[in-house]
Amino acid sequence: MPKTTFMISVEVKIAREGANINEILEAVGEAHSKLGVQLAEGVIEWLQEDVRNRLCRADRQAKKSLGRHSDKRSPPRRCRCRSFVKEGFRQHKRRLATDLGEIGFRVGRVSCRRCGGKFAPILDVLGLQRCQGHSAQLERIAAEATCRTSFARSVAEVDGLAGVPVSGSSSHRWVASLDLPVAKPPPLEMLLADGTAYKKAGGRRGELRIAVGVTETGKIIPLGTWSGVDWRTIGKSVRRRLRNKKAKIAVLDGEPGLDFHFAKLANCTQRSHWHLLRDLRILLWKDGLKAAQTKPLSVRLRGILGVEIPAGEWEAILPVTKDTLRGQVKEAREAFQAMIDEFGAFGYTHGQRYLEGARDRLFSRIDLWMQTGIIAPRSTGLLEEIMRETGRRIKKLGWNWKDHGVTQEVAMILLQRYSPDQWDAYWRHRLDLQGRCRLRITRFECMN
Ligand SMILES: [Zn+2]
């Protein structure tokens, strides 16, 4: 195993009267980051010389897995020759933005004795792509920073963390090109889907759509993010991901396309009460009602929808309690029907039609609870929260998002927040860390 030692000497000067702890820490911190860059560069250049020497002098065994190159006479076919001559260095240093700071190293070449091709063996060893200007770890830092804060602020944050300027556009490009993992979802209890508007490139309006599942234990499973895709396609893609296994209940906001295509993905659907109340106000306004006239109707509807699932363990609920609940639901349904009829009589056609569409799915959560003990939420509040969180990052920014960029960004935020293990595994795989380079401080002593 190739091995070397770096001698590092550090000069320390301290004022006659001493230095306080903050001054010492500041100075050590600065030296520490410079040392990191120098040490990385030193290790790379030493490794490069070792590789080149082995290729040009050593026996076949020592060259194993080194010196891969394409045949100059018939590229891209691999040349089988294992005999090389050392050549000089490329004119320019190779620069790489990393989480330690910007590092730069000379790139030394060798030439093949048979095909005459010249190449830099160190690049293959380091696993650097052709025009790669940054380390994968830096991408991870940038990606994680965008999840914590807004996109523009994250750029500043990465600057501070890595000591290298990372432009907004490259940060954005990195996130867009991540090949995010898609895991098989576990059985779902609930299914939630919703959309939110955002500003697209060219000032056009885009809609970001998100679907998540909730498992029996309350774990949130992201099922996908889309922009510029209709609910029909989204429904199909979610169905594929669920492998046709239906969720127990879908809580939906009543948007026609969403409702239609997601209803098939669950055993029953519940209309989001929050949306029902909000949308009814808008529709009654279309029917010519003033806010003051709508208010009492809203209050009335809220009352009808207010039937509550009893507290306590489902198994311990007495049959009489369930009977009472059934009675309450029946009454509420009748009151709801009365409201529909009234709207009809007064000619509030928008409102009437809207309520009719929701009628059969007002109390699905109560039916489900009675059968299974599962408590589904009244509204898609969980999703609204996710939307708010992600929306903050994409809406207010001056960034002109494209469909792909925005869905990637949000998919990444969801993955990081709700499947951190998967996010971690993704990076472990991507960085290909196998512990093949180890550093140990062998000597540390003061010179006098
Ligand atoms: Zn060759």
Average pLDDT over residues 248-261: 82
Lowest mean pLDDT among 28-32, 165-169, 235-239, 360-364: 165-169
Is the residue at 385 inside a domain?
no
Distance 371 CA to ligand 1 centre (A): 72
More confident residue, 321 or 19: 19
pLDDT at 166 over 80: no
Could you tell me which of 86, 90, 81, 100 has the C-alpha nearest to residue 43? 100
CA dist., res. 50 & res. 80, Å (int):
21
142 and 108 within one domain: no
Lowest mean pLDDT among 5-9, 67-71, 169-173: 169-173
368 and 295 within one domain: yes
pLDDT at 378 over 80: no
Could you tell me which of 97, 102, 104, 176 has the C-alpha nearest to residue 138? 97
Please report the pLDDT score of residue 225 as a whole number.
87
- Which residues touch 62 (CB under 8 Å, ≥6 apart)? 54
Distance 433 CA to ligand 1 centre (A): 30
Distance 118 CA to ligand 1 centre (A): 8
Please report the pLDDT score of residue 278 as a whole number.
86
Q: Return residues with CB closer than 5 A to ligand 1 (ion).
A: 79, 81, 112, 114-115, 117
How many domains does one find in the chain?
3
pLDDT at 396 over 70: no
Distance 44 CA to ligand 1 centre (A): 24
Evaluate whether 105 touches 48 at the Cβ level (below 8 Å). yes
Name the 3-class secondary structure at 329. helix
Distance 83 CA to ligand 1 centre (A): 8
- Residue-number span of the structural domain to which 169 is assigned: 136-177
Please report the pLDDT score of residue 398 as a whole number.
45
CA dist., res. 141 & res. 158, Å (int):
7
Is the residue at 194 inside a domain?
no
Distance 62 CA to ligand 1 centre (A): 18
- Which residues touch 329 (CB under 8 Å, ≥6 apart)? 307, 363, 366, 367
- pLDDT, tens digit, 9 for 90 and up, residues 398-436: 455 677 777 888 888 888 888 888 888 899 889 998 889
Give the DSSP letter string of 179-222.
----PPPPP-SEEEEEEEEEEBGGG-EEEEEEEEEE-TT--EEE
Distance 71 CA to ligand 1 centre (A): 5
Distance 57 CA to ligand 1 centre (A): 16
Distance 115 CA to ligand 1 centre (A): 4
CB half-sphere exposure, 189, CA atoms < 13 A: 16
314 and 363 within one domain: yes
370 and 311 within one domain: yes
280 and 355 within one domain: yes
309 and 372 within one domain: yes
pLDDT winner (highest mean) among 234-248, 275-289, 334-348: 334-348
Distance 212 CA to ligand 1 centre (A): 53
Strand partners, 85: 111
Is the residue at 261 inside a domain?
no
Which of 350, 378, 406 marks a domain boundary?
A: 378
Distance 96 CA to ligand 1 centre (A): 28
Distance 131 CA to ligand 1 centre (A): 22
CA dist., res. 145 & res. 175, Å (int):
11
Distance 7 CA to ligand 1 centre (A): 37
CA dist., res. 315 & res. 305, Å (int):
24
Could you tell me which of 201, 204, 222 has the C-alpha nearest to residue 213? 222
More confident residue, 79 or 144: 79
Could you tell me which of 377, 382, 289, 303 has the C-alpha nearest to residue 335? 303
103 and 57 within one domain: yes
- Amino acid, single-letter form, for residue 20: N
Q: What is the overall mean pLDDT for the chain?
A: 86
**Straight-line distance from the first to the last Cα atom of the chain, in angstroms, rounded to the nearest whole number:** 34
When pLDDT is cut at 50, 70 and 90, the band that residue 215 belongs to is: confident
334 and 312 within one domain: yes
Its pTM stands at: 0.69
Evaluate whether 287 touches 347 at the Cβ level (below 8 Å). yes
149 and 95 within one domain: no
111 and 58 within one domain: yes
CA dist., res. 180 & res. 193, Å (int):
20
Could you tell me which of 135, 137, 179, 170 has the C-alpha nearest to residue 151? 170
Is the residue at 143 inside a domain?
yes
Number of H-type helices and E-type strands within the chain: 15, 10
Distance 445 CA to ligand 1 centre (A): 48
CA dist., res. 431 & res. 138, Å (int):
11
Distance 68 CA to ligand 1 centre (A): 9
Token pair of 221, please?
A: 């499973």
| Strand (E) or helix (H) holding 85 | strand 84-89
pLDDT at 151 over 60: no
280 and 354 within one domain: yes
- pLDDT, tens digit, 9 for 90 and up, residues 186-211: 888 888 888 877 777 777 778 888 88
When pLDDT is cut at 50, 70 and 90, the band that residue 361 belongs to is: confident
> Backbone phi, then psi, for 180, in 5-degree steps?
-70, 140
Average pLDDT over residues 1-19: 94
Please report the pLDDT score of residue 17 as a whole number.
96
Please report the pLDDT score of residue 397 as a whole number.
47
Distance 82 CA to ligand 1 centre (A): 8
Is the residue at 339 inside a domain?
yes
Please report the pLDDT score of residue 116 as a whole number.
93
Average pLDDT over residues 337-354: 92
- Amino acid, single-letter form, for residue 64: K
Distance 119 CA to ligand 1 centre (A): 10
CA dist., res. 142 & res. 137, Å (int):
9
Average pLDDT over residues 118-139: 91
How far, in whole angstroms, is CA 168 from its chain's centroid?
Answer: 17
CA dist., res. 317 & res. 329, Å (int):
17
Please report the pLDDT score of residue 156 as a whole number.
62
For 42, 125, 162, 205, 322, the CA distances from 37, given in Å and listed in that order, are 9, 19, 11, 45, 69
Is the residue at 16 inside a domain?
no
Token pair of 203, please?
A: 């000032």
Is the residue at 76 inside a domain?
yes
Evaluate whether 72 touches 79 at the Cβ level (below 8 Å). yes
Distance 279 CA to ligand 1 centre (A): 71
CA dist., res. 229 & res. 209, Å (int):
8
Is the residue at 161 inside a domain?
yes
150 and 122 within one domain: no
Distance 72 CA to ligand 1 centre (A): 6
How far, in whole angstroms, is CA 383 from its chain's centroid?
Answer: 16
Give the DSSP letter string of 266-301.
EEEEEE-HHHHHHHHHHHHHHTT--HHHHHHHHHHH
